[in-house]
Amino acid sequence: MVRRYPWKVILVLNTLVICYVFYQSQQSQPEPGHDRSRKRDATQTSANCSRLKSLISHSTLKILKKEVFFKSVRALQRCWIGKPSNHKLLQKNFQTCCNASYSLVMTQENTLMGQVIQYEPQNRKFRNVTESLHSLLPKKSPFEKPIKHCVVVGNGGILDSSFCGSKIDRADFVFRLNFPPMNRTEDVGTKTDLVYANPSILLSQFNSLRDSRTSFIAMVKKYDSSFILLPAFSFSGYTEVSFRTLYTMEDLDLKSKVVFFNPAYLRKLNAYWRLAGLRFRRLSSGLVMVSVAAEICEKVTLYGFWPYSEDLDGIWIPHHYFDNERPKPEFHSLPDEFYRYLQMHAQGSLRVHLGHC
C-alpha cells in the first residue's frame, strides 16, 4: 500500500509534524495576561523596595525590633540600586568637612616644620614638628587622584565561608583594618592597598617591636606594597611605637610604607559624625575608613561589616572571622555605625554586601 499510495503517507506525516510544532509553539507562548502579570509583579517589587528604603532612611535603629530589622536588611540586599548622584552628594559632604584627599595623611605639604601638632583626642598634648619628623613625612598626599572602585573589608564573622575573596580582589583599591590575618583568602581575598591599624595591636601582640620582629615582618609581608596607616598622634603612648614601625619598614626594606594619620583630619571627622547625630566615645576604625573611601572613591562596597552575633539566618557567628574577641562596649557604637552604612546603602550611596558571594 505504501508503494501504491506514497503521497498519502507523506501527507499524513507532514500533517503530524505541523500539528506537533504548532502544539509546542502554543505551549511556549505565555498565557493571556502573563506579560501584564510579570510587569505588575515587578512594579510591586519596586514599590516594596521603595517603602523599605524609605523606612530605613527615615527611622532609627532603636524603633525596629530585631526580627523586623534582620528581615529588612536581607530584603535590602536584593533591592540595592546604585545612585551616582547620591554618592556624589555624600562625597561632597565629606570633602567639605574633611578633605581626605589632602588632609588624611600627614605630608610635608600640609604639616610644616615648626608647626605644633595637637594630639587627638588628647587635646592638651602637643608635639613640635622638628626637621627629623618632617623628613619622615611623604612630600604629597598619595590620595590626590580619585579612585574608581574601592572595597573596605571589615573583620566581621559574616565573612566566614562567604567566598567573597575573588570579588574583593577585583576592586581598584582595598582598605583593611587592624592587621587582619590573611589566611582565609577564599573569603577575604589577598589584595591590600591600605591597612589602617590601631597601634595598641603593636603594643599588645608584638611587644612594641622591642624584641624579635619576626612575626610582625611575616604579617606585614602578606600586605605586599600597601600603605600602613598609623594614628601616631592620637594618644601619646602610640607615637614612639609608630615611629619604630616606620623605621622597621625602612631598615628591612619592606614593600609596605608607613604613613601617619593626620590628627586634624580625625577631629574634623569626629565633628562631622557628631553633627550628624551619631553618639560615640571613639569612632571605630571601620567608620573612619568608610568615610575616607566615600570621599576619595567613585564607588564603594563594604564587606565584613556586621556587628551582631547571629547572621541573617539567625545562626551564631563569631565577632571576627578569625576570633570572637569583642571590643569594649563603651568605646564604640558599632550597631549605630552599621545602621548608618545601611542608610547609605538604601540611598544607593554605597553598597553593603552581606552573606555569600
Q: Which residues are known catalytic residues?
A: 332
Q: Outline where DSSP puts E strands in 165-292.
A: 173-177, 194-196, 227-230, 257-260
C-alpha 128/C-alpha 335 separation (Å) is: 38
Sole residue written with cell 569583642: 326
Taking the C-alpha atoms of residue 199 and residue 229, their distance in angstroms, rounded to an integer, is 10
3-class DSSP state for residue 243? helix
Buried b (16+ CB within 10 A) or exposed e, 302-326: bbbbbbbeebbeeeebebbbbeeee
Angle between helices 214-221 and 239-251 (to 10 degrees): 70
Instruction: State the DSSP string of 253-281.
Output: T-S-EEEEB-HHHHHHHHHHHHHTT---S
Beta-ladder partners of 300: 150
Q: Do 176 and 168 meet the contact criterion of CB atoms below 8 Å apart?
A: no
172, three cell numbers: 581598584
What count of residues does the chain have?
357
Do strands 147-153 and 173-177 pair parallel, antiparallel, or not at all (unpaired)? parallel
Q: Are strands 147-153 and 297-303 parallel, antiparallel or unpaired?
A: parallel
Show the cell assigned to 62: 532603636
